Amino acid sequence: MKKFKSIFSPSKILVLMFILLLIATIPEFTKPAMSQTEAIVTFLCVDKEEQDFTVGVSVLSTADGKKPNYTFYYANGQTLGDAMDNVSLSIGKEMGFSQCEVMAFGDQLCEDGVISALDFMVRLKKVSRNAMLINFGGDIKDFTKALYKLFTEKQLKIEQIINFDKKYILSTDSSIDNFYRGYFSPISVGVLPKMTVLKQETDNAIQVQSSGEGQSQGPETNGAEMQKEEELYLLNDGTMGVFKKGKKQLELDFATVQEMNLFVNKDYQGLINITDVTDHIYDHATVVMNITKTAPKIKVSFDGDKPVFNLDLTLTMYIEEIVQDEQSSTFMRRNKEFYTKTLLNRIEQKVLNQLETASKYCVDNNIDVINAYQNFNCFKPKQFKKYLKQFGQENYLQGIDFKFKVKIESAY
């Protein structure tokens, strides 16, 4: 018994456990760092050209100490998987997408349908569903290069450009997860913000590259190659792509987006211009009103078998500027005397016209970005279900009666 205790003494057991632990952890100590075997992708661009896919990526490295470096690559392939494999071959590593912040789809892919490509990246490549999803216009190589320049030289993230006017655009949440929710909803409608890469200067565009010598990366150039660079600009003018069943149906310009915002965006802010205002205060003046708060109240009902969509909209605003006799004044904004009945009536009528135009646009194009289906389905489910049997799932907007009331309040 004493011999047994001496063999299995506590000190010897501890030594044995330490040796076994050391043996088990040696492979982990000798394993190369993940950055040596996997390329960290920060953004991904995908588009189609005829039947081929083109992929552009930005890869993060920390070769120069703590300061991050980015390199962009691009490649083609008959399938998205082939294109991704060709990019990996160009980089010399497998690509990791756990830190991918942005996924951008080109116009051609959006028109053909994005769901297959989206599923491939989310399910097989493990792109986070929290990553930002956008539509881009222009050449994919130019757009990838523009984002690369944005990250490295402008020290900006794409979210800062997409959301710099987040109170003015229709969708502030353009994540993959939000797009999926729209796609799998009964109406299968979603919206994505659009950015366009341009080679010439235009209003609201940010210059991200000047003309000169530059470096690109890709299998077509056998790695890095110096070449003449053109000027590049990124444009975010508030355009939104509207998708139905995963395919882009149309684009909303900024003016239409502003009208749609009056239905759904409680944080919406914007400007309204009222021209040729004439009364005891004004003489053919142009008055610019600044909206500070939007309070839409939606109530749905049925008049017999006919659905009625009621929107009571209260807008809080102040006078931003008055232009009269070729002079501009701003000192009146706090003076209630200048909020005349004529001016308020003109504002109400203009907002009513915008609401009617927006609802007609949705009906004519059969796109429900004002959440009519959601409201009827939530608050009048039995009557709405009966109505859908009559009009059909695709044409339900045609029979809805839209009614609007507008109230204007002073911010001061």
**Residue extents of the structural domains in the chain:** 34-244, 254-410
Position with higher pLDDT, 8 vs 399? 399
List the beta bridge partners of residue 194.
135
Number of CB atoms found within 10 A of residue 183's CB:
18
Within 8 A by CB and 6+ apart from 273, the residues are: 286, 287, 288, 289
For position 54, what pLDDT does the model report? 94
For position 352, what pLDDT does the model report? 96
Band (27; pLDDT cuts 50, 70, 90) = low
Q: Is the pLDDT of residue 68 over 90?
A: no
List the beta bridge partners of residue 48.
53
Band (164; pLDDT cuts 50, 70, 90) = very low
CB < 8 Å & 24+ apart, contacts of 209-213: 209/145, 209/146, 209/149
**Alpha-carbon distances of 21 from 9, 11, 18, 94, 223, rounded to whole Å:** 19, 15, 5, 31, 44
C-alpha closest to that of 114 among 245, 301, 304? 245
Position with higher pLDDT, 173 vs 353? 353
The model carries a pTM of 0.79
Kindly state the average pLDDT of the residues 260-270.
76
Which phi and psi angles does 37 have, rounded to 5°? -115, -15
CB 348 within 8 A of CB 406: yes
Which phi and psi angles does 9 have, rounded to 5°? -70, 155
Across 61-75, 86-100, 203-217, least confident range? 203-217
Q: Is the pLDDT of residue 299 over 90?
A: yes
Superfamily of domain 254-410: Nutrient germinant receptor protein C, domain 3 (3.30.300.210)
Band (169; pLDDT cuts 50, 70, 90) = very low
For position 219, what pLDDT does the model report? 41
For position 222, what pLDDT does the model report? 36
- Per-residue b or e along 3-20, where b marks 16 or more CB atoms closer than 10 Å to that residue's CB: eeeeeeeeeeeeeeeeee
